[in-house]
Amino acid sequence: MNKVVFCIICCLLSLFLLTNTQAEMRPPAVAGAFYPADSAELAGMVRDHLENAKGEAAIDGRLIALIVPHAGLVYSGQIAAYSYDMLKDSPVDKVILCGPSHRYRFRGLSVYGPGVQWKTPLGMVPCDDNLCRQLLETNEDITINERAHATEHCLEVQLPYLQTVLRDFRLVPVVMGQPDKTAIELLTDALKTLKLDSSTIMIASTDWQHYRPAREGWKMDSLGIECLKQLDPDRLERQLQKGTVEACGGGPMIAVMRAAIAKGANRVKILKYGDSGDMSGDKSSVVGYVAAAIYKAAPGSKSNVRENPGSGANNSEKTPASQLSESDKTKLLEIARKSIETYLADGSIPDFEVSEYLQRPGAAFVTLKRDGHLRGCIGHTVADQALYKTVSICAIQAAVADSRFQPVKLEELAKLSIDISYLTPLQKIESLDEIEVGRDGLMLTLGNKRGLLLPQVATEYGWNRTEFLEQTCRKAGVHKDAYKLPDAVIYKFQALVFGE
């Protein structure tokens, strides 16, 4: 090769590398607005937030995903720090960061990588080219859309915390356009295809209700937090669609929850809740913030386990319904009615003085009826909190969050009757012959679908075993014969039912 040709090749290569390097850097878009542009000031703010959150959170298991807020760091940064404190001294070196598009409208998903480095005042963050390519190859509606990321803040504001708690990591930045069912399924399926290990974390970036008085905001956020605590993305999606819960990053959050479940997650720990008024002092118009950890519990752990829904109590024993005294039943009905009344009146959730037995973990459903017709029914199948608290929150949710009905009005409450179903742990069945109509309730799960019917429902409608199974499938939103599929999992349970 002669010297002239060699020089030309070198010049062209240098020009290519220079151009490529310039195109690969995503500059900070909200430095000086959402967080300090000065590196020392930003580092100090982040360190202070993490120090305040230090040691407050602990989980007994393997962390799979985090939920974080994304407002200006002076407002939401302290809440976010409770999630990021979980990553200190962890082996995580790959972060799949998912959030909504606030300023640019488009459909599908945008992955701003591979070959991109994200810059903040604390330095550069490279993308994980391999994982980015895997996502882009999953579906043609997952693209590289620079405009979707150019001014978007929801991912950028997370980076200073990640740069502080992780020594070296690579980023997979994902923004969702229109957060419709198609986009949620697209992100869910794409995340499921990735092989994640202990060195990879998924993060969903979302704020919750926006610009309401704190008391009203908490009413909405508390309903969404209950869905999160129960690791129930389906119910959360229904409430977001209905408008009883708000979350600007609800679509990415639901997808991350579903993908986390597919990766083995079975628990959620709410690390911190707050609102913008905590920092500004103005509670008249706030935005809600939540930090949460989604994880797979270690064997033998005793709190809420989603993959074995009955394990909130001893699965070898049925709930000792005989120990629930008549006075306890009366008290639970009083708690249910008072909880609804107080919540509808001022948005607060009351507490109660109860017997020692009602302070034990318990699973229950609360059913509301008007003139003998169903008006709302919601419950928890896992005994992950005190029975009286389960009844209190389920009563409120049955009144205002059952997507089949309009929320109950305070003036309507006197016309409603309340039933409580106190559940035994769920028992996975091996044979359909184990099901006894009139005694057993059923829960069927098939992929992300889940349907549950209480024992008394089959009796009220006069169903036989096959009809009960078919109706449970329909409740899950699947074909009536889906219970015959090899992937369908069926649980039975019993219930002590009492009412006003």
Q: Are residues 185 and 143 in the same domain?
A: yes
Q: What is the CA radius of gyration of the chain?
A: 25
Same domain, 65 and 169: yes
Look at residue 312 in the predicted model and tell me its pLDDT. Answer: 36
In a domain, 219, yes or no: yes
Are residue 36 and residue 175 in the same domain, yes or no? Answer: yes
- CA separation for the pair 437, 186 (Å, rounded): 39
190 lies in the same domain as 334: no
Does 141 share its domain with 160? yes
The pLDDT of 391-418, averaged and rounded, is: 92
Q: Per-residue confidence at 218, pLDDT binned at 50, 70, 90? A: confident
**Residue 203 forms part of a structural domain:** yes
Please check whether residue 249 lies inside any domain of the structure: yes
Give residue 451's domain range.
Answer: 427-499
Tell me how crowded residue 396 is: count the other CB atoms within 10 A of its CB: 25
Give the single-character DSSP code of 425. Answer: P
Per-residue confidence (pLDDT) for residue 3, from 0 to 100: 53
| Cα end-to-end span (Å), the chain | 95
Is it the case that residue 496 has pLDDT exceeding 80?
A: yes
Q: What would the mean pLDDT of 458-469 be, rounded to a whole number?
A: 90
Q: Is 315 within the bounds of a domain? A: no
The reply to whether 102 falls in a domain is: yes
Rounded Cα distance between 129 and 149, Å, is 17
Of the candidate ranges 51-55, 84-88, 397-401, the one whose mean pLDDT is the lowest: 51-55
Q: What letter represents residue 107's amino acid? A: R
Only one residue has tokens 């008391």, namely 215
Question: Does residue 165 share a domain with residue 132?
Answer: yes
pTM of the prediction?
Answer: 0.70
Residue 50 has what pLDDT? 95
Are 374 and 231 in the same domain?
A: no
Indicate if 265 and 163 belong to the same structural domain. yes
Backbone phi and psi for residue 201, each to the nearest 5 degrees, phi listed first: -125, 140
Query: For residue 2, what pLDDT band results from cuts at 50, 70 and 90?
Result: low
Do residue 375 and residue 447 come from a single domain?
no
Residue ending a domain, choose from 382, 416, 450: 416
Of 372, 387, 416, the residue at which a domain comes to its end is 416
Contacts with 332 (C-beta within 8 Å, 6 or more apart), sequence order: 358, 364, 387, 388, 391, 420, 422
Does the pLDDT of residue 317 top 60, yes or no?
no
pLDDT digits (tens, 9 = 90+) for 327-349: 999 999 999 999 999 999 988 88
pLDDT score at 229: 86
> Does 169 fall in a domain?
yes
CA distance 338 to 350: 8
The burial of 237, by beta-carbon neighbours within 10 Å (0-12 exposed, 13-18 middle, 19 or more buried), is given as: buried
Instruction: Give residue 56's pLDDT band: very low, low, confident or very high (50, 70, 90).
Output: low
Same domain, 252 and 336: no
**In this predicted structure, what is the pLDDT of residue 384?**
76
CA distance linking residue 219 with residue 340, whole number of Å: 12
Percent of the chain exceeding pLDDT 70 equals: 90
Domain count of the fold of the chain: 3
377 & 447 share domain: no
What CATH code is carried by the domain that includes residue 251? 3.40.830.10
